[in-house]
Amino acid sequence: MKTRAIVFALMLAAAVASAQPATREVTVAAAANLNEVFQALGPQFEAATGIHPVFSFASTAQLALQIENGAPFDVYAAADVDHVEQLEKKGLLVAGSRAVYATGILALWIPPGGKANISRLEDLVRPDVKVIALAKPELAPYGMAARETLQKLGIWGQTEPKVVYADNISMAKQYGTSGNADAVFTAYSLVLKEKGKVIQVGEQLHSPIDQALGIVRASAHPDTARIFADYLLNGKGRDILRTSGYRIPTSAVQARPLATR
């Protein structure tokens, strides 16, 4: 009798579970500079839409390569426009889904407890500055902007021997967190709440870090992909990005209209 009751209970539980709607998801390939803001944005997006976001963070170039190799992403949120355009030209993104969602701000972070005396960018040439961390320019737009900045200031020749490269700006930040770098070029969004000193880099010193997104053509969830993209371009996501260290397009008109497959 007990055995039959247990079996019945298990069957009932299975029936109830199968009747529950499957969790809707969206998988987002996100540039490393978005790590903290997307971790904060994710729960708010899920609460508003019922869609669970799954984020995969890496450098913009690495993510583009993964998409070319068939990685199962729904949305590509890059740290530049070029890689999104290249994927679009190759037919790997939904036509018309490319749009700029934010402009990044480059910052120089001097971690707390360091011995180097840095109060402005030009101080990076000082002899007490031993190590400067930045992301590889060929992989990460923020790394390219950092190199452009040092070149524009005329101090690249003096600072290049001090540079250590990371695969993305989150990893570059780790050099500073671990005490292995005196100064770190990274996204303002990753350090605006950190201790230490943060120096925003003027826009005139490097090319604009316009960040674009696109819906992956092979997406298994084009509907949830569109909803996530709209959340960034036209919804609450704009406010979250703005308060997290990004400049936002003044209106959604600047973003190209999204289209599903």
Burial class (CB in 10 A: 0-12, 13-18, 19+), 24: middle
- What is the structure's pLDDT at 256? 43
Q: Show pLDDT as tens, one digit a residue, over the chain (261 residues).
A: 444 544 344 444 444 334 444 579 999 999 999 999 999 999 999 999 999 999 999 999 999 999 999 999 999 999 999 999 999 999 999 999 999 999 999 999 999 988 899 999 999 999 999 999 999 999 999 999 999 999 999 999 999 999 999 999 999 999 999 999 999 999 999 999 999 999 999 999 999 999 999 999 999 999 999 999 999 999 999 999 999 999 998 754 333 444 433
CB 146 within 8 A of CB 225: no
Q: What is the pairing mode between strands 209-215 and 197-200? A: unpaired
- What is the structure's pLDDT at 50? 97
Q: What is the pTM of this model?
A: 0.83
Return d(Cα 106, Cα 209) in angstroms, integer. Answer: 8
Return d(Cα 249, Cα 239) in angstroms, integer. Answer: 11
> Helices in the chain by DSSP H: which ranges?
2-19, 35-49, 60-68, 82-89, 141-152, 156-159, 169-177, 188-191, 222-234, 236-242
Domains of the chain, first to last: 24-103+208-254 (3.40.190.10), 106-200 (3.40.190.10)
